[in-house]
Amino acid sequence: MRSFILGTDWGEDCDDVVALRLISRFHKAGKAKLLGVCVNTCNVNTASSVYGLLNTEGMENIAVGVDKSVAHLALDARYQARLAKYAPDKTNDDAEDAVRLYRRLLAESEGKVEIMEIGFLHTLARALQSEGDDISPKTGMELFEEKVEKLWIMGGRYSHQGATEFNFSRYPEACVGANIICKSAPCPITFLGWEIGSQVVTCENITEGDCLYDVLCDWNNGVPTGRESWDPMLCLMAIIGDEQEAGYSAYNATVSVDASTGANYFEIDPSSNRKIVTKSHPDSYYIEMINAIIK
Ligand SMILES: [Ca+2]
């Protein structure tokens, strides 16, 4: 079974919660193994709310890491306090540093690991650039070369050159992190751009009594709503493991990010180990598939 680590800007948009529920459903069905969740944002409810969502799925034993170095970022966290109530005994002190968790999960894994990133890339970049420590004498680059099969990243826009997208550009740290990962990650990367998910509204089948319903309400100022599906689309593509099979056309391309602005650039290049994707089906295809999994 393929193993995954999830990186998330948990507490920003609510589609991260949808994505974690989707991953949980595959994990529990024995179709994918979630090794841990590394959060690249931080506020008082970060760890408790991730543990809370995992608890609602019966996945109490999944490792959670938090990047406490970014507690200064202005986080819009309307749903976190609600999910924290499902893990009242947890605080950020119960979560390992997210860079250490990336390193530990990679070092301890016997086989290859794939990483799904649906948030900012500064934490993953720090893991990539990390030195050896008490977990492993290997550098982050050595751990990536040995253990990371592939990165799946929701980030960038591929409709025109120099576009800015939230995950690559929201904070100075995010711009630098995206620049480093695009430039230096030694493994293949497939990117799902903003334009892919921006019209794909899922969760309209989620009903009252489901904690995800409350999360969606929190996100939309108390009004139940569906949500665009950038993060669950990325995770579903990663778990299916093949872009074409997941309903996309994939194009090998170089991808770069301006470290100052977060603007991204791309160029079709058959020799590149990076890929960008376009949809092969109407939006309803992805909506129906995701809604059926998360219900
Ligand atoms: Ca996200």
Q: 138 alpha carbon to ligand 1 midpoint, in Å? A: 29
More confident residue, 146 or 74: 146
Which domain does 162 fall in, by range?
A: 3-294
Q: What is the pLDDT of residue 78?
A: 84
How many structural domains comprise the chain? 1
Task: Flag whether pLDDT at 76 surpasses 80.
Answer: no
Residue 224: which pLDDT band, with cuts at 50, 70 and 90? confident
What is the arithmetic mean of pLDDT over 179-193? 98
Q: Which CATH number characterizes residue 59's domain? A: 3.90.245.10
Residue 257: strand pairing partners: 264
Q: Which of the given ranges, 77-86, 95-104, 219-228, has the highest pLDDT on average? A: 95-104
Distance 111 CA to ligand 1 centre (A): 27
- On the question of pLDDT at 217 being above 80, the answer is yes
Rounded distance from Cα 17 to ligand 1 centre (Å): 9
Cα 172 to ligand 1 centre (Å):
17
Q: How far is the CA of 137 from the centre of ligand 1 (A)?
A: 32
DSSP per-residue letters across the chain: --EEEEEE-TTSSTHHHHHHHHHHHHHHTTSSEEEEEEES---TTHHHHHHHHHHHTT-TT-EEEE-GGGTTS----TTHHHHHTTSTT--GGGSEEHHHHHHHHHHH-SS-EEEEE-S-SHHHHHHHTPPP-SS-SS-HHHHHHHHEEEEEEE----SSTTB--HHHHSSHHHHHHHHHHHHH--S-EEEE-HHHHTT-EE-TT--TTSHHHHHHHHHTTTS---EE-HHHHHHHHHHH--TTTTTEEEEEEEEEE-TTT--EEEEE-TT-SEEEEEESS-HHHHHHHHHHHH-
CA atoms lying within 13 Å on the CB side of residue 130 = 27
Q: Are 33 and 27 in contact (CB under 8 A)?
A: yes
**Cα–Cα dist 89/48, whole Å:** 8
pLDDT at res. 75: 79
The overall average pLDDT reported for the chain is 97
Q: What is the pLDDT of residues 101-154, one digit of tens each?
A: 999 999 999 999 999 999 999 999 999 999 999 999 999 999 999 999 999 999
* CA 112 to ligand 1 center in whole angstroms: 24
How many Å lie between the centroid of ligand 1 and the Cα of residue 253? Answer: 23
Distance 163 CA to ligand 1 centre (A): 18
Tell me, in angstroms, the distance from the centre of ligand 1 to residue 247's CA: 21
Distance 3 CA to ligand 1 centre (A): 20
The span from the CA of 216 to the CA of 232, in Å, is 14
Ligand 1 center–CA 12 separation, angstroms = 7
Mean pLDDT of 4-12: 96
CA of 91 to the centre of ligand 1 (A): 21
For the cut 80, the answer to whether the pLDDT of residue 256 exceeds it is yes
| Distance from Cα 134 to the centre of ligand 1, integer Å | 31
Cα 156 to ligand 1 centroid, rounded to whole Å: 12
CA of 19 to the centre of ligand 1 (A): 9
Q: Is a pLDDT exceeding 90 seen at residue 77?
A: no
pLDDT of residue 265: 98
